[in-house]
Amino acid sequence: MAKVFTIPVPPKLTDRKERERTSDPRYVDGQRLLVEAMRYLAQTDPISNRNAIELLSEHVRTRFRMTDSPLG
């Protein structure tokens, strides 16, 4: 049986370019829209819309998909 050795290498922090982080209002508006949709679904028929509410809730909790980054 072979043994695997790992040699940890610290990241080089000096080679990274500094990027200014700015908030994108579209990202915040998208989250607000999802919350409004969940609120609407809960008011109309919370029992039958439970799966849709859970799906939207998962999107809000995970801050959208990884490709939907506000940093673009």
Residue 9 is assigned to a structural domain of this protein: no
The Cα–Cα gap between 41 and 53 comes to: 7
pLDDT at 68: 52
Q: How confident is the model at residue 61 (pLDDT cuts 50, 70, 90)?
A: confident
Least confident of 11-20, 32-41, 59-68: 59-68
Residue 36 is assigned to a structural domain of this protein: yes
Which contiguous run of DSSP H or E holds residue 56? helix 50-61
Residue 11 is assigned to a structural domain of this protein: no
- For the chain, the domain total comes to 1
User: Per-residue pLDDT for 6 more than 60?
Assistant: yes
pTM value is 0.53
With tokens 């829209």, the residue in question is 33
Integer angstrom CA distances of residue 28 from 13, 21, 52, 60: 30, 15, 21, 11
Residue 39 is assigned to a structural domain of this protein: yes
Residue 70 is assigned to a structural domain of this protein: no
Residue 71 is assigned to a structural domain of this protein: no
- Residue 50 domain boundaries: 25-64
